[in-house]
Structure 1
Amino acid sequence: MNDGAVAAPPDRVLDLFHGVRLTPTQRRIAHCLVQHAAAASYLSAAEVAELAGVSQPSVTRFAVALGHDGYPALRRRLRELTSGGATGGAGDGNELQRAVRAEIANLERLARELADRDRIAAAGQLLAASRPLPVLGLRAAAPLAAYFAYFAAKVHPDVRVLDDGGSLLTDRLEQAAASGASALLAFVLPRYPRETFEALREARDAGLTVVAITDSPVSPATEYAELVLPATVGTDLVFDLHTAPMTLAMVVLQAICDASPADTQSRLEAFESSAARRQLFLG
């Protein structure tokens, strides 16, 4: 399987967990159900437990935490949500049109999430105050980290992209913390490289506050991040579409600008002056 080539569930399955405070074990179960929604709706509690790597009683307690009498009731609800019956225009047209319409739906979902501006503002304040600001993105997430960092460098004095794994990654995290970094922005996207979570553990051990842009509110990143910002990844083509996560990255950058407007304006003016002097752009 290629990077980013995993199937995601309908938004309706994710809605089961919204507003419910889950333990780390329950988040593992939720993530398992999200990734295997159609199949899980026909599995027993024991089979779901094995798939998620937890105990069978944990699956039962998870179902009760969601407001069901037990796992059979949750399974019936999953069957209702995954049995088809999708409405709207998402099923119209050819597969390319459906993929684009699915991305539009992902952006609309993100727009609804952004009704709570406090979480975005909190992320902006944490990241704006971190000097330097390390930005982590490995494998499929590396281009998003670079995209964010390119623009962030215009308003932040020291942005450090961490897009290579291996032993040097830990060195660079420790160097950032020793230089005064207080927070880390991490892009955590499917298929979830193992090295990403090792880096998140190292970041927490180094005293960094982790802000994660990830694909789901029950992503494995929730175990490591103090602040999780979800944006759905599109899965209708051979490789994942990152339209919503990329949009969210720019929203977070806006929040960084809003957290320090005077510094932002000063740095932008200095860049424009330098760009004009060097004739960087044609227009």
Structure 2
Amino acid sequence: MNDNGVMADGQVERVLDLFQGARLTPTQRRIAQSLVRHAGAAAFMSAAEVAELAEVSQPSVTRFAMALGYDGFPALRRRLRDVVTQAPPAEGAAAGNELQRAVRAEVANLRHLADQLADRERVAAAGALLAASRPLPVLGLRAAAPLAAYFAYFAAKVHPDVRVLDSGGSLLADRLDQARAAGAGALLAIVLPRYPREAIEALREARDAGLAIVAITDSAISPAAELADIALPAAVGAQLVFDLHTAPMTLSMVLLQAICDAAPAEAQHRLEEFERSANRRHVFVN
């Protein structure tokens, strides 16, 4: 924390790590958000004080700690103290101009993503869900639209029917209905800050329609994570005027690898078919 009690980016990421992989209720998400915003103070509060801070009941705070795997709130508080009192990185990491610091922060986001991928089970499970969905709808609105298109461009080389949903309004609901009617069993949603209301509403509609939801989003407590069957977080860089999406883009390609790994024979066959077609049509100059 700095002299004003504000946590540095690295500390925020370590607090968010406490909730990684947890399936939180809306009340528990409110508690988690309060801990992220006020971690420095909350690390020394009682369960009753945290409950007042988050505007929930004290038993809710206890259940929240137990949902994260702790015996109770005191154990979670001890872990929170370890996180917020951990020494900051060496001064050299913050050196340089604002452009250099922004790029270094993205490097840190990638390192953090690499650490998360030590456990491959969630990504593998997400890949299997998406590989089996025919068609495969990919949702990405506003800032996430280019990333949805990027993922879909490569996914179409190994999946027979990828459908990008990158526009809102009534047309979005129509295309979700059409994908479900055509046999889709899962949806990949890329939802990044600032979270479009239409994207969150689309996730609710997809869930009500029976689609399994895999979400690439910026944190375990984003609105998309609450609605997803599998939430895959990747931090967004916020040091420049507009956000940097290096880690979410990397995670999208990791997820595509998991799709290929879920059906390797089919993926290889489709890749070979594409190469033969591309060579015949002289698509590339080399």
TM-score category of the 2 structures, normalised to the smaller one? 0.7 to 0.9
> Taking structure 2 as the reference length, what is the TM-score of the superposition?
0.83
Instruction: Give the one of 14, 30, 33 matched to 2:32.
Output: 30
> Taking structure 1 as the reference length, what is the TM-score of the superposition?
0.84
The verdict on how the C-alpha distance between 1:271 and 1:18 changes in structure 2, with shifts beyond 3 A counting, is: closer
Deviations 1:221-259 (A, max 9, x none): 222111111111111111111111100000010111111
CA displacement at 1:117 relative to structure 2: 1.3
SS in 1 for 2:242: coil
Does structure 1 residue 274 correspond to structure 2 residue 277? yes
The verdict on how the C-alpha distance between 1:42 and 1:249 changes in structure 2, with shifts beyond 3 A counting, is: same
Instruction: Give the one of 214, 219, 237 matched to 2:217.
Output: 214
The verdict on how the C-alpha distance between 1:250 and 1:239 changes in structure 2, with shifts beyond 3 A counting, is: same
Taking the aligned partners of 2:164 and 2:248, their CA distance within structure 1 comes to 17
Deviations 1:150-190 (A, max 9, x none): 10011111100001111111110010000000000000111
CA displacement at 1:34 relative to structure 2: 3.1
Contact kept, 8 Å, 2:27 with 2:56, in 1: the verdict is no
Tell me which residue corresponds to 1:103. 106
Tell me which residue corresponds to 2:146. 143
SS in 2 for 1:155: coil
Taking the aligned partners of 1:84 and 1:116, their CA distance within structure 2 comes to 24
CA displacement at 1:281 relative to structure 2: 1.3
Does structure 1 residue 203 correspond to structure 2 residue 203? no
SS in 2 for 1:10: helix
CA displacement at 1:47 relative to structure 2: 6.8
Instruction: Give the one of 210, 225, 228 matched to 1:225.
Output: 228
Q: Which runs of 5+ in 1 are unaligned?
A: 1-6
CA displacement at 1:131 relative to structure 2: 0.5
Deviations 1:82-101 (A, max 9, x none): x8952134312111111111
SS in 2 for 1:115: coil
Q: Percent identity?
A: 67
Aligned residues: 270
Taking the aligned partners of 2:30 and 2:162, their CA distance within structure 1 comes to 32
SS in 2 for 1:119: helix
Tell me which residue corresponds to 1:160. 163
Question: Which amino acid counterpart does residue 12 of structure 1 have in structure 2?
Answer: R
Does structure 1 residue 94 correspond to structure 2 residue 94? no
The verdict on how the C-alpha distance between 1:274 and 1:35 changes in structure 2, with shifts beyond 3 A counting, is: farther
Tell me which residue corresponds to 2:185. 182
CA displacement at 1:16 relative to structure 2: 3.2
Contact kept, 8 Å, 1:120 with 1:255, in 2: the verdict is yes
Q: Which runs of 4+ in 1 moved over 2 A?
A: 7-10, 15-24, 31-49, 54-71
Question: Which amino acid counterpart does residue 112 of structure 1 have in structure 2?
Answer: D
Tell me which residue corresponds to 2:3. none
The verdict on how the C-alpha distance between 1:238 and 1:146 changes in structure 2, with shifts beyond 3 A counting, is: same
The verdict on how the C-alpha distance between 1:197 and 1:23 changes in structure 2, with shifts beyond 3 A counting, is: same
Taking the aligned partners of 1:171 and 1:36, their CA distance within structure 2 comes to 42
Q: Which runs of 5+ in 2 are unaligned?
A: 1-7
Of the structure 1 ranges 29-38 and 265-274, higher mean CA displacement relative to structure 2 is found in 29-38
Contact kept, 8 Å, 1:90 with 1:102, in 2: the verdict is no
Of structures 1 and 2, the one with the larger relative CO (CA 8 A, separation 6+) is: 1
- Output aligned runs, 1:63-102, within 5 Å: 65=66, 67-69=72-74, 77=81, 81=84, 86-88=88-90, 89-102=92-105
Tell me which residue corresponds to 1:11. 13
Does structure 1 residue 245 correspond to structure 2 residue 245? no
Taking the aligned partners of 2:142 and 2:37, their CA distance within structure 1 comes to 20
The verdict on how the C-alpha distance between 1:35 and 1:215 changes in structure 2, with shifts beyond 3 A counting, is: farther
Contact kept, 8 Å, 1:232 with 1:245, in 2: the verdict is yes
